[in-house]
Chains A and B, each alone.
Chain A
Amino acid sequence: DAEITQSPRHKITETGRQVTLACHQTWNHNNMFWYRQDLGHGLRLIHYSYGVQDTNKGEVSDGYSVSRSNTEDLPLTLESAASSQTSVYFCASGGGRGGLDEQFFGPGTRLTVL
């Protein structure tokens, strides 16, 4: 069955360190998205990609970067982790046909920055 996976599921790091969160999907979707979830904010879009070599900034992109070298993967990098980036991160894929289709979500990565 097709799926979307994230790793690691839990990560503790220190302020200033670089961190990369992995996202892998086997749906063969062109569109992939990264969100962060914080209490009182719902999910907020960090970065998104509509295809290989395409990346775009979302609502809360400062301090994050992504790259898309193939269809299956969209890793999220925190260049220099800050305590404000402690959150739960969700990767999603899908949402084609101009947003008419649903997005499929991974299980999430809980990141703690000390």
Chain B
Amino acid sequence: AQSVTQLDSHVSVSEGTPVLLRCNYSSSYSPSLFWYVQHPNKGLQLLLKYTSAATLVKGINGFEAEFKKSETSFHLTKPSAHMSDAAEYFCVVSDYQTGANNLFFGTGTRLTVIP
């Protein structure tokens, strides 16, 4: 079965400092992994996705994530936080290897950016 664990429910950083949001996954197969962002009172937007190509994935707004199979991790990073990055971030795994199209969401990490 597929699942993800987001290791921090809340992360707080100062503007201009690096961001690290941690995610570990569990999958019986080689997974597809995604990071989605949700700004307050908004729907979810895709930040980036990993689908077995390059292990370092670049997304929108300067975010990137590295797939590490040996550590079953897919951590999200950004070199320098901006105030507009304050949002809820979800790590997501797909069970595409079973032929289904469903996503399994982590419980989310709320990012606060301090001016």
- A residues near B (Cβ < 8 Å) are 31, 33, 35, 40-45, 48, 50, 58, 90, 92, 95-100, 102-103, 105-108
Contacts and interface: CB of A to CB of B under 8 A. Distances in A.
B44 A95 contact: no
A99 B32 contact: yes
B43 A95 contact: no
Contacts of B94: 95, 99-100
Given A98-B99, A99-B32, A44 B42 contact: no
Interface string B42-62: 111110010100000000000
Given A42-B108, A100-B51, A33 B102 contact: yes
Contacts of B100: 98-99
B101 interface: yes
Interface in B49-102: 49, 51, 90, 94-97, 99-102
